[in-house]
Amino acid sequence: MEMIRVENLKKEFSYYKKAVGMKGSLHNLFHRETLIKEAVKDISFSVEKGEIVGLLGPNGAGKTTTLKMLSGILYPTSGKVSVDGFVPWERKNEFKRRFSIVMGQKNQLWWDLPASDSFYLNKCIFGVEDQAYIKTVEELAELLEVKELMGVQVRRLSLGERMKMEILAALIHRPDILFLDEPTIGLDIVSQQKIRDFLRYYNEQKKTTIILTSHYMRDIEELCRRAVIISKGQVGYDGMLSEINHLMGDKKVLTLKFSETVSKEQIAPFGRVRELKEKEAVLEVPKDTLRGVMAAVLSGFPVEDFTVTEVPLEESISLIFRKEAGTL
């Protein structure tokens, strides 16, 4: 079942060019030069019910702008969007009950009050019944391990604790759709993992549709099977994460450990040398030639151990960014 459909979505922002200094400021009073920034350019994609999709791209690609249009915060310049059958920017009350948005760099909780007060405010706003509210808060607080922190002022919480509270607040009304804009930004490794574990479990249990943006590839690899990659406001890739390496040339990474020192000149003919130490080499080898390369290396060099892995997803995605930006 299709939950979200985006067709030819576009968003432009106008701004003014300002010259430097007092003279430039005076000139701008009478002669302003208007410039147009295309934040999102004609993007289209769809998301099925219960799917977790990673929305990826470099800084300034248009990811956050896209999420803001999907949630009705921004009105698009042109294009069509359907989120669970609603047009987001019409901002109907019934639509607002269907989704939540969590932005890692913006707070929705009241800074000087305990998080529980913000939770209760959300309960009243969304008209959640008392028993359902109590059950939801207790369940989510247990899962997120914040039960003992409910009465603590938000400003006294650590960043990781605060992020968990933000997610809990967003789920008070049990939304069908969750937009997450860098929910693990700035968190330590342990906090990141706990939030990923919670989101995976919650998605499995409630079948919540999630669109996630993140610059941490671990978030994307662990939670998403599919990615939509945006570069310069346009969709550069929409497909399974497992297919990205194939798209970029189907390469394998061959790590070799030798019993003797091997030079770059000796090993270079077998593949692109990614790294070379005295007795260890890391080669990038096309998948279709891997077997032949392995046979030649094992017969011609004193190999003690070897491993074969995929090219890191982060590198493949970076290549797509560069390709779409025309810098590759």
Question: DSSP labels for 269-304?
Answer: GGSEEEEE-SSEEEEEEEGGGHHHHHHHHHHHS-EE
Confidence of residue 170 (pLDDT cuts 50, 70, 90): very high
In this predicted structure, the answer to whether residue 128 has a pLDDT above a threshold of 90 is yes
Q: Which of 102-111, 139-148, 177-186 has the lowest mean pLDDT?
A: 102-111
Q: Return all residues near 179 (Cβ < 8 A) that are at least 6 apart.
A: 67, 70, 71, 99, 100, 101, 102, 210, 211
In this predicted structure, the answer to whether residue 51 has a pLDDT above a threshold of 80 is yes
Confidence of residue 322 (pLDDT cuts 50, 70, 90): low
Tell me the mean pLDDT in the region 144-167.
92
Residues 237 and 303 in one domain: no
Helix (H), strand (E), coil (C) string for 249-277: CCEEEEEEEECCCCCHHHHHHHCEEEEEC
Residues 198 and 273 in one domain: no
Tell me the mean pLDDT in the region 284-309.
90
Tell me the mean pLDDT in the region 302-312.
86
In this predicted structure, the answer to whether residue 71 has a pLDDT above a threshold of 70 is yes
Q: What is the pLDDT of residues 232-254, one digit of tens each?
A: 788 888 999 878 767 666 788 89
Question: Beta strand 177-181 with 99-103: parallel, antiparallel or unpaired?
Answer: parallel
Q: Which residue has the higher pLDDT, 267 or 325?
A: 267
Query: Locate tokens 């030079």: which residue?
Result: 263
Q: Return all residues near 134 (Cβ < 8 A) that are at least 6 apart.
A: none
Residues 103 and 137 in one domain: yes
Q: Which of 101-105, 218-222, 225-229, 309-313 has the lowest mean pLDDT?
A: 309-313
Count of structural domains, the chain: 2
In this predicted structure, the answer to whether residue 171 has a pLDDT above a threshold of 90 is yes
Residues 221 and 253 in one domain: no
Please report the pLDDT score of residue 257 as a whole number. 93
CATH assignment of the domain containing 299? 3.30.70.1150
For residues 151 and 133, the answer to whether their CB atoms sit within 8 Å is: no
- Alpha carbons 253 and 282: distance in angstroms, whole number: 7
Question: Beta strand 251-258 with 234-240: parallel, antiparallel or unpaired?
Answer: unpaired
Tell me the mean pLDDT in the region 37-50.
93
Residues 101 and 181 in one domain: yes
Please report the pLDDT score of residue 17 as a whole number. 76
For residues 227 and 61, the answer to whether their CB atoms sit within 8 Å is: no
Q: Is 51 inside any structural domain?
A: yes
Q: What is the pLDDT of residues 73-98, one digit of tens each?
A: 999 999 999 999 999 999 999 999 99
In this predicted structure, the answer to whether residue 122 has a pLDDT above a threshold of 70 is yes
In this predicted structure, the answer to whether residue 226 has a pLDDT above a threshold of 80 is yes
Please report the pLDDT score of residue 248 as a whole number. 62
Tell me the mean pLDDT in the region 218-234.
88
- Alpha carbons 166 and 147: distance in angstroms, whole number: 14
Q: Is 104 inside any structural domain?
A: yes
- Three-class secondary structure of residue 89 per DSSP: helix
Q: Is 188 inside any structural domain?
A: yes
Confidence of residue 324 (pLDDT cuts 50, 70, 90): low
Q: Rounded to whole angstroms, what are the CA distances from 13 to 77, 153, 189, 230, 309?
A: 9, 37, 36, 18, 44
Confidence of residue 181 (pLDDT cuts 50, 70, 90): very high
What residues make up the domain containing 133? 2-7+42-244
How much is the pTM?
0.81
Angle (deg, nearest 10), helices 130-144 and 189-206 = 140
In this predicted structure, the answer to whether residue 327 has a pLDDT above a threshold of 60 is no
Q: Rounded to whole angstroms, what are the CA distances from 221 to 174, 283, 313?
A: 25, 23, 8
Residues 253 and 195 in one domain: no
For residues 141 and 150, the answer to whether their CB atoms sit within 8 Å is: yes
Residues 100 and 54 in one domain: yes
For residues 223 and 199, the answer to whether their CB atoms sit within 8 Å is: yes
Residues 75 and 209 in one domain: yes
CA dihedral 278, 282, 283, 289 (to 10 degrees): 110
Residues 192 and 254 in one domain: no
Q: Which residue has the higher pLDDT, 203 or 108?
A: 203
Average pLDDT, the chain: 88
Tell me the mean pLDDT in the region 160-177.
94
